[in-house]
Amino acid sequence: MSVLKFGLIGCGRIAAKHAQILFGFQGAKLSCVCDIREERAIKFSQEYNIPWYKNYHDMLKKEDIDVVNILTPSG
C-alpha cells in the first residue's frame, strides 16, 4: 500500500484534529506544516517531529507531498 504524504497550511485550532485523524490512517503520513504565525508552526513541528514553514510557497517547493489541507479561518 502506498502512503499519501500530507502538508497542513494553518496550525490553528482545527489542525490538531486533522493531525490526529491522519495518524489514525495507515495510508497517510503528516509530512510538514505551515503557518504565518511562526510560533504555531514550530510548536506543531516539535510535537510531530516534522518540518515547518512560514511561507506555503517554500513548503510546496521543498517538500514531496501529495495532499495539502488548507486550514485557514473561514471568517
Rg from Cα positions in the chain: 11
Decide: 52 and 18 in contact? Cβ < 8 Å: no
Phi first, then psi, for residue 2 (nearest 5°) are -85, 155
Mean pLDDT, to the nearest integer, of 48-70? 97
Helices (H), the chain: 13-24, 38-48, 56-62
Phi first, then psi, for residue 71 (nearest 5°) are -115, 50
What local confidence, expressed as pLDDT, does residue 7 receive?
97
What local confidence, expressed as pLDDT, does residue 72 receive?
87
pLDDT in tens, 3-42: 999 999 999 989 999 999 998 889 999 999 999 999 999 9
pLDDT at 46 over 80: yes
What local confidence, expressed as pLDDT, does residue 1 receive?
65
Q: How confident is the model at residue 74 (pLDDT cuts 50, 70, 90)?
A: confident
